[in-house]
Chains A and B, each alone.
Chain A
Amino acid sequence: MTTITSPTALDTDLVLSAEGIVKNFGNVHALRGASISMRRGEVTALIGDNGAGKSTLVRCLSGIHHPDAGTIRINGSDVDFHTPLDARNAGVETVQQNLALIEDLSVWQNFFLGREQTRGFGPFRFLDSRAMRSKADEMLGGLAVNVPPVTSKVRRLSGGQRQAVAIARAAGWGSPIVIMDEPTAALGVQETARVESVIKRLQDSGVAVLLISHNFDQVLRLSQQVWVMRAGNAVAGRRAVDTDGDELVALITGAKAA
């Protein structure tokens, strides 16, 4: 494995770094020692063909998978995520590629799943649904074009509305690291623009965003750093200003070596 460092890398700026991440599913080698890093206040893009291992890496960073080998560092110190809660507590919020929404629950219930607000005392604590509903409404309002009522079941939402819900959920908690696995894949033009402005807004407020996308224009427009994955490895890292779509395509397909 060659370690890829960028010319302007300053170690103190690294919010998150993953080194030599290996993940096997039986005989499938999904990750073969991938290394990437994210810098404070930057949008970092992760690109690669289908099956390159992007989502698997995301799931390692968000605590769903435990890597077979490799280290993850946040703000310079090693972390070991055994559950998604560990990652959440370390400040990592994720929009999973499959959105991780529960269809038979309402929008607000999905928003607060695992972090419910309750009222009451002692063992008698009940869901504070009114507070959660209005907070969810607020969080969603800034994002979706066709805002679904927060009391509607996710099952009734369109694909784009679901994506908006998952993004608003990840972006709304003030976490320093937000990962979005293909957040605009099902979105229309207006919604895509909204999501891009959410990403910019997060960046402006100092959040480090990891953006997985197949859209090179979007990647070059939004990100400062691009990592290219191929067959379970991060084969190249480029500053967005130093590269272009043609080079990225060549790196993805392997026509050009890193």
Chain B
Amino acid sequence: MNTSTTTTAISVERTTPASVLRDARHLSFWAEHAAPIGLVALVIVFSLLTPSFLTLGNVSAMLAAAAILVILAVAQSYVITTGGIDLSISATMTFGAICFGIAFTAGLGFWLSALVGIVGAALIGLINGLLIAKGKVTDFIATLGTLSVATGLALIFSNGRPISVLSPELLQLTTGRIGIVGYPFILAVIIGVIAWVVMFRTRFGLHVQAVGGSEEAAVANGLSAKRVRIAVYLISAVLAGVAALLLVARVGAAEPAINTSYLLNSIAAVVLGGVSLTGGKAKIVGPILGALLLTALSNGLTLLGVSQFYQPLAVGLVVVLAALLTRFQKR
């Protein structure tokens, strides 16, 4: 049967102000751009409700507070693009922080200790990657397991006590700034830019998207899905290791805390950023904006004097709303 001689040419899409207005009538537009729209809306609402929200000091504090989550969201975005998920990301960060703290206490100095922390975190990522790619364990189960393992190791290594770290380099990291933007956020932005370039401009990034889109088709085209999967879990863990340094710098100590909210927020930021959990559709800017949104949300609520107890509730509502919206995304 002849069914396809009448196929129509496909129009090439361009973004113009008119097209934006036209698109805004569709739910898919809001779904596609949930993070930037939500961020702008939050900023408007909070600045109306409290004048202290949009002050230089508070913006600077928000950016500083957002840095860790931005890095974790970028990391999580790589994993989720392949259709996986890294539940161990915050436990890996904690473990990296403890490794750093122990190495520093042992007198290795800042840079070597930072390396120890990142390598320690990377080991967890390697285990994740091997379990998932070679062991064929479901990503959910594998990283749930390593979440527990990394948390346990952090407790064992630290004896359950915070390791205080007094390092001039760390102090520099927390207090250093260019304009109102502190070093942690600059580091996060640099990582974001590199992550974007790698995802959208290199072979590796294309392979990450391909494996997430269809592992079967990717393999049929000669890609190694195993290598890609191991690599994304490694990337996730290494970035968690970098975030660990910011965490220690922020707290002034390496704490064997569980940090579950970082895990949930990293996934929430990616969902807010419009990345589908089924994989294949990569986004980097979206998750970064999602991380900023979540940070602005908790900052604004705090300024308004809303009890800490309500914050998880607010984050939860925002994420569920975003998740509902993603159903209306254009495929």
Contacts and interface: CB of A to CB of B under 8 A. Distances in A.
Contact of B12 (A152, A187, A188): A152
Contact of A125 (B7, B203, B219): B203
Contacts of B10: 148-149, 152, 156-157
Contacts of A157: 10
A151 B220 CA distance: 22
Interface in A161-204: 161, 186-191
B305 to A, nearest CB: 44
Interface stretch (B67-75, B143-151, B210-218): B210-218
Contacts of B16: none
Nearest to A123: B202
A191 B4 contact: yes
A118 B203 contact: yes
A159 B219 contact: no
A145 interface: yes
A116 B203 contact: yes
B280 interface: yes
Given A104-B213, A159-B4, A188-B4, A113 B206 contact: yes
B209 interface: yes
Q: Is the interface of A mostly helix, strand, loop or mixed?
A: loop
A101 B7 contact: no
A146 B206 contact: no
Contact of B214 (A102, A127, A190): A102
A7 to B, nearest CB: 36
Interface in B215-232: 216-224
A126 B2 CA distance: 42
Interface string B4-40: 1101111010000000000000000000000000000
Interface string A98-127: 111111110001000111101000000111
Interface residues of B, number: 31
Interface stretch (A16-24, A33-41, A46-54, A83-91): A83-91
Contacts of A190: 5
Contacts of B281: 104
A64 interface: yes
A95 B29 CA distance: 36
Contacts of A189: 2, 5
A145 B7 CA distance: 9
Given A104-B280, A105-B209, A160-B3, A64 B202 contact: no
Contacts of B7: 146, 158, 160-161
B283 to A, nearest CB: 12
B12 A145 contact: no
A114 B221 contact: yes
Contacts of A146: 7-9
Interface of A: 62, 64, 83-85, 88, 94, 96, 98-105, 109, 113-116, 118, 125-127, 145-146, 148-149, 151-152, 155-161, 186-191
12 contacts: A62-B220, A99-B217, A101-B217, A103-B280, A104-B213, A114-B223, A115-B222, A118-B203, A126-B201, A126-B202, A145-B5, A146-B7
4 nearest CB pairs, A to B:
A160-B4, A114-B222, A85-B222, A100-B220
